[in-house]
Structure 1
């Protein structure tokens, strides 16, 4: 485990037990998507001491399959305390029931890559006091959202400086009949190249050296554990630095509510670090 993250966790646990923390501000907005011609519900969590005269980093936090925009704040309410501690903004957009955060050619209802990585970021940078470059942007998520976060970050390395995944579906190929993926990109038997091209594990070669800081975690009892272990091994093989955490846990909120503590500590460390990996 990353030693810096471990030390932050100790501090956090102490604060949770011993301290009373101010409540962050949670807003739910309808943000227009021109690419999809509809409004997308989005939760925005602001630090209690948010000051429009300052500039705040932003963590884009994605939900999983069949989920929605308010899953994270409702099921892991500690996020609000973490936002106050770390003093950065968390944004949770609705990614649809089964979008996998892709742009689907010819389907105007599924342009979630464009929405999250262009329209939503533009909205946040226009309406909030954000740090408007990749050194102040991170993205992560759970399950389908972990797949989405890693995919978007790899495909938009000039936009994000750090990315993560918890219990992520980082290789969709072993699951040809699951989660309605075939309705988005066709069946594996008829569209094998689409499945290959859209699996995160096959995007590793696109990573620029020292460009993205990465954190990946997955429980040992999770059905995605083997694909997460495989992507960890592939990142190691290509000498791509990353933080990889595994511990006991399954594909559920019991695991994710603890994972978010590790994840948010990681992004805090990134947002407050100066170095070549954060350069534009």
Structure 2
């Protein structure tokens, strides 16, 4: 009798889980050929459950990973492995997580011709997504955010291509490429110096190539573009001073933006908590553009 009850209980749990998973967002692994780098990269694409039964066009969030990471980080590294799927379902939008390599900074390297990730995202990933899925194919339905290196990348790409995005965010962003401003130990600083040497062609962070590619120095362009911006960083993060610096520059230049500091450091626990706030911020903007899916 006990065995029979246990079997029935196990069957019930299995059926409940099957029902739950069948009504959750799905993850596609999409291959994107990069003509600019003559290489195929992957992107993870989370498609909300409603997509299968709807004929609507969907807004898209581009969600960038950080330094040392890869395209699947947001799916595998958060404490809650359902975070991105649940947010895609909650807000009925497609979430795209492209490859940015471990230290490419989402820009076209002035020193390495095989590292062109601004071109990859803008001219290869976005057209591939729009050609594969039913998306809002204008800046009214496209938003971007990311963590750390990806926070800088999201701000950098949106600032340089305001015709493609309607809002941008940054979580714990490395918003100045001058690594000597990071609150880090000597070994980490040496590692960054070597990485930047290969990427930028110089190990001098005061070099003009660093200055013109750092989002902290693009306030005039940010103001001209007038895109809604959300920036947040933990008070214990080694990048918090750089985030405060950009915030102060934006305030001084009367640039509207949302800025948040909350307890936490440079951790997945912090970013798991931060991402839903970014989605809420973006949802209000997308709703204002009339592109949300009910």
Three-state SS of the structure 1 residue aligned to 2:50 is: coil
Q: 1:31 to 1:174 in 2, by over 3 A?
A: closer
Task: Kindly indicate which of the two structures has a greater share of residues assigned to helix.
Answer: 2
Structure 1 position 182 matched with structure 2 position 197: yes
Q: For the pair shown, which has the larger CA radius of gyration, 1 or 2?
A: 2
Which residue of 1 is the match for residue 144 of structure 2? Answer: 139
Q: 1:202 aligns with which of 213, 217, 224?
A: 217
The 2-side partners of 1:224 and 1:197 are apart by: 19
Which residue of 2 is the match for residue 111 of structure 1? Answer: 116
Which residue of 1 is the match for residue 69 of structure 2? Answer: 67
Three-state SS of the structure 1 residue aligned to 2:49 is: coil
Three-state SS of the structure 2 residue aligned to 1:108 is: coil
Three-state SS of the structure 1 residue aligned to 2:247 is: helix
Which residue of 1 is the match for residue 58 of structure 2? Answer: 56
Can you list the C-alpha shifts for 1:148-168, whole angstroms capped at 9, x where unaligned?
110011000111111110000
Shift of 1:105: 3.5
The 2-side partners of 1:87 and 1:59 are apart by: 11
Q: Under a length normalisation based on structure 1, what TM-score does the superposition of the two structures give?
A: 0.86
The 2-side partners of 1:210 and 1:114 are apart by: 20
Shift of 1:217: 0.4
Q: Which runs of 5+ in 2 are unaligned?
A: 1-19, 181-188
Q: 1:38 to 1:174 in 2, by over 3 A?
A: closer
Contact 1:218 1:225 in 2 (8 A): yes
Contact 1:61 1:91 in 2 (8 A): yes
Which residue of 1 is the match for residue 13 of structure 2? Answer: none
Can you list the C-alpha shifts for 1:169-226, whole angstroms capped at 9, x where unaligned?
0012243745312210033438710111111110111124463110000000000000
Contact 1:185 1:191 in 2 (8 A): no
Can you list the C-alpha shifts for 1:90-122, whole angstroms capped at 9, x where unaligned?
000110111011101463321100111121111
The 2-side partners of 1:117 and 1:177 are apart by: 31
1:127-166 correspondence runs (5 A): 127-166=132-171
The 2-side partners of 1:105 and 1:238 are apart by: 30
Three-state SS of the structure 2 residue aligned to 1:49 is: helix
Which residue of 1 is the match for residue 9 of structure 2? Answer: none
1:1-280 correspondence runs (5 A): 22-51=23-52, 53-76=55-78, 77=81, 78-105=83-110, 107-175=112-180, 177-179=190-192, 180-189=195-204, 192-209=207-224, 211-274=226-289
Q: Which runs of 5+ in 1 are unaligned?
A: 1-19, 276-280
The 2-side partners of 1:98 and 1:170 are apart by: 14
The 2-side partners of 1:177 and 1:147 are apart by: 20
The 1-side partners of 2:149 and 2:127 are apart by: 23
